[in-house]
Structure formats: structure tokens, C-alpha cells
Amino acid sequence: MKKLLVFLKGYEKETVLAPLFKMLEALFELFVPLVMAAVIDTGIATRDRGYILRMCLLLVALGLIGLVCSITAQYFAARAATGFSAKLRHALFSHIQNLSYTEMDQAGTSTLITRMTSDINQVQSGVNLVLRLFLRSPFIVFGAMIMAFTVDVKAALAFVVTIPLLSIVVFGIMLWTMPLYKKVQSALDRVLLLTRENLTGVRVIRAFNREEEEKERFREENRQLTKLQKFVGRISGLMNPVTYVIVNGAILMLLYTGAMRVEAGLLTQGEVVALVNYMSQILVELVKLANLIITVTRAIACGNRIQDVLEMKNSLTVKSGAKERAEKPDETDSVRFSHVWLTYANAGSPSLTDIDFEARAGQTIGIIGGTGSGKSSIVNLIPRFYDATQGTVSVNGRDVKEYDPATLRENIGIVPQKSVLFAGTIEQNLRWGKKDATREQLWRALQIAQAADFVKEKEGGLQAKVAPGGSNFSGGQRQRLTIARALVRNPKVLILDDSASALDYATEAALRKALREMDTHPIVFLVSQRTSSIRHADQILVLEDGRLVGIGTHETLLLDCPVYREIHQSQFDESTAGKGGEGHEKN
């Protein structure tokens, strides 16, 4: 948590002025009991109305000055806390954006969202309260004790006993609850994960009629969170009654001692009232301090969780001294895998084993295999979403680890398995590929992706609205728009990771033909489950359990690769499968 305080840089003035004005308010507040004592001992005792009026005006003045100081302190504290949280949120978001897929997989989306939102809000509240009360409350507590000693030393001994007892209670409960609040935030992560899964998978849940089961799962997770929060709440709730018991016991002792000393003529009635007021001030401030401690404890737990994310190291590193040699290439004429192995973090076995092949400019590389065979793993290594565990992935004869990831990806167009569109317009989504693309370039990309016709039919054309996630488009339309987005940047390497699965055969064939006719002749990696989609590829990679069991053209693989032949025969009539023909796809 301490390391996060660097984000208060630039708000040094506010962090000094906020507690300073709060202490000024506290200082004026400490004079109030003395003024009340003077009113009782001098004004009321002598029935001097003029004196009473003057003292009452002084009390009003002290109250107004304190109010101004309090508002000023609140302004500076809010300004510092809000600025701190804004800088922290920006830094956390930037850091998360720079993490590799490995760290993102390990952390999990739900916990990252919680830390970006709930945790930072808790830390902001903690900073705000600390700036306003962390110095004020102890100042009032010890200031009231010192002022009590100036009134009467013997009676003030009650303060010496009370304050340590209260400190033990407050800090003991704080140390007890701090780890528990961390557990509460972890339970909140699980609830958020379940909520996110249900909202994103609502169609699947309804299709399988699992609403009631999911409601029960949510209730159970929510029950666990509530149970934890109640347990921590009960412990934190002990603070107020215990402090009230201690302070009221001290007030009783103070009244008894004061009465005895008034009777002996050693104290005045006004001084006893002043001592009781000082003890009441201590009670009020310790209640505030108790609430402050609860908030700060929660804020520290949340701050440590945020710090854990900020301390995550990106596993994608650029080789020392390589940046100077790794300028963005003008042409990408080859992609080479040299005996590449890949094992995901915390995985028991490798996902890719000894992958070795080369792709040249203008070639189309088809990749096929069963579910979980490692198709997506291969293409994810090219733009360095993951780094190879062993072996080398090279672009233009240079290890991809010698490129800065951002520089490397400028030459690569990627269409992932899941078609993701963002809220806005079609044009805004296409410009993710290239911010300064001309309208001609946008329409050219749409034509190649076979999306121009339906975009023209949309009201507004390129300015047609896109709902969050592209929910106002069909699956095939979303896929074609994501392909167009990748083509806008005119990439040297184009990766289509099973991104035409929702297209009909005619549209897919037109797409493949348009890609072959592109002037730039990119290297196209085409991942598919269908042999009909990759049969015209220059090379086809056949994967099984992460191993490359076949490489060649469609015709040679039908003869030499049993795995490929089995996949092809499972999709087409056997009468034509062995002849290299397209045949009739099985229903």
C-alpha cells in the first residue's frame, strides 16, 4: 500500500493543507470547554449578562471559524483523493493493457475488474478520510488530555487510564479485521466472476433452461460473501460499544472525583463541566477514529490487492540491445517456426511440441486439427501474445523476441476466434486497424471481407451504429467486419483464427479469392475446422495433441496423412474424398 502513495505526487499542497485546516478546526474546538467553564464560573455565578453574551458570541465565532476550516479541509482532501484515484486507475489500466496473455490468464478478468473499480473506490475513501481525520482525531484526543491537565491534574488522571485502554481496543480490532477484509474482497471477486459469466452467457443459460441452477449458484456465492461481511461487521461493530463503555466509565469516575473536589473547594463547577466536555470530545473523536480505522483497514487491504497487480511482471521481454536492431520491417517475407514448444503457465503438459515449418510471402498456410490440438496456440505465438517455451519463432529471419511487441504487431492483422466489436459506429470499429485510414481504404477492406454490400444497406453506411459486442449484427456479419478491421491496416501477415466459421460456402470462397488477389500478397494463416476452407492453401499444417503430424497440400495429405484424411472423410462423402474433390458435405 505504501508504494501507491507515489500517486499523490502533484497533490502535495492539498495533502498538507487538508490536515492543517482540520487541526485548526480542532484547535478552536478545544477552546470551547474553557469558554463554557468561564460562562458558568464567571457569567452565571455573578449573573453578568453582558459577560455571558460576549462569551456566547465568542462561541458562535469559534463555531463559524471551525466550519470554514472544515469546509476548506474537505475541499483539499476531496481534491487530493479524487486526483490520486484517477492517476492510480489510469496507471493500473495502462499496466493491465501491457500485460501478456499469460498474466491476464493467471489474474482473471473478474478480479481485475474488481480492482479497477471497487478496490480503487475503497482506497479513494481511505485517502479522503485519512487526510481529514487521521491527524485531527489524535490531536483532539491528546489535546483534550493536555487541556484537562491544565484544569486539574488529579482529575485528569482518568484520561491517562482511558486513552491507552481505548487505543488497545481500536488497534486490536484493526489488526484482527485487516486480513478478514482481504477475504471479503476475494469473495466479491467470485460473485463478480459469476455475475459476468451469467451476463455474457445469458443466451446459453436460457437455451439449456439453466436459469434456476444459475440463480442458486449466485445465491450460494452471495451467501458466502454475506456471511464473511457479517462476521467482519460483528467484529468491527464491537468497537463502538466497547469504546462507549470505557469512555462513559471514565466520565462516571470523572464526575465522582470532580464532585469530591468541588465540595473540597479545589475545583469549580465550570471546570468539572469542562473536564466532562473534554472526555466527551475524546469519545466522539474515538468513535470517528474507530470508523476511520475500519475504512482505512479496508482501504489497505484493497490497496495491497491493487499493488499485487501493479507488481506483476510482463513475461514478454525484449532481448537486451535488440531494440536498436529491430526496426519495423518494410516487408515481411517469411515467418519461421524452429522446433517450437509451448507450455502454458501452470499447465501440466506442453500444448505445442516441436513445431517446425516456414511460410513465405504470398503463401496461405492452412492449420487444421481436432479441438485442443494447438491450432490457436501456433498463431498466438506470431504476434507474441505468448512466448515459446523452447525453440524460436522468427519474422524475416529475426526472433520475434527481438521486436517490441507493439512494433511487431503493426505488421500483423489478427482476427480472433471470438468476433468482438465495440459500441460506436462501423467506421470507428474499422479505424481500430488504422486510425488515419481514408474512406477508400475502409471500403476496400470491406469489399475484400465481403462486407461492403450489407454495410451499404445499413442506414448511415459507415456511420451505422454498432451495439456493444456487435449484438445488432448477425454472427456472419460480425466476422466479416472483424476481418475488414484487420485488413484496413494492409498487414503483411494476416491471421484468421477460425474467423469464417459463420460464413456460407459461397461467401467464404469469395473471401479466399479476394485475399489471394490482394496487391500486397500477405502471408495468410487460416485456422479452420473445415477442410473445404483450407484445401486451396499452399501448405496445410495438421495438428494432433500439439504435434505436427502432417504438412503439405490437400492432395498429398489425403494420401499420406491419416489424421487429415479422417477429418476430410468425416465431412464429405467417401466417394469423392479420396479423389481430392470437394464432394458433398455431410449433414
pLDDT in tens, 44-93: 877 788 888 888 898 899 889 989 999 999 999 999 999 999 999 999 99
353-357 long-range Cβ contacts below 8 angstroms, 24+ apart: 353/545, 353/546, 353/547, 354/391, 354/547, 354/548, 355/391, 355/548, 356/391, 356/548, 357/539, 357/541, 357/548, 357/551
- Copy the grid coordinates of residue 309: 497487480
pLDDT in tens, 111-136: 788 888 888 999 999 899 888 888 88
Given this model, what pLDDT does residue 167 score?
78
Which residues, given as ranges, of the chain have pLDDT below 50? Answer: 324-326, 330, 575-581, 587
Q: What is the DSSP string of 320-349?
A: TT-TTT-PPPS---EEEEEEEEE--TT-SS
Given this model, what pLDDT does residue 123 score?
92
Given this model, what pLDDT does residue 579 score?
46
Given this model, what pLDDT does residue 320 score?
59
Q: Could you give the C-alpha distances from 423 to 420, 436, 444, 450, 460, in angstroms and in order?
A: 10, 19, 22, 22, 15
For the entire predicted model, the pTM comes to 0.70
DSSP state of 43: I
- Given a contact cutoff of 8 angstroms between Cβ atoms, the answer to whether 4 and 88 are in contact is yes
Given this model, what pLDDT does residue 332 score?
59
- Enumerate the β-bridge partners of residue 580: none
Given this model, what pLDDT does residue 176 score?
83
Given this model, what pLDDT does residue 293 score?
77
Given this model, what pLDDT does residue 193 score?
82
Domains of the chain (ranges, CATH numbers)? 2-310 (1.20.1560.10), 332-411+491-554 (3.40.50.300), 418-490 (3.40.50.300)
Backbone angles phi, psi at 399, to 5 degrees: -55, 135
Q: State the pairing for strand pair 398-399/352-360.
A: unpaired
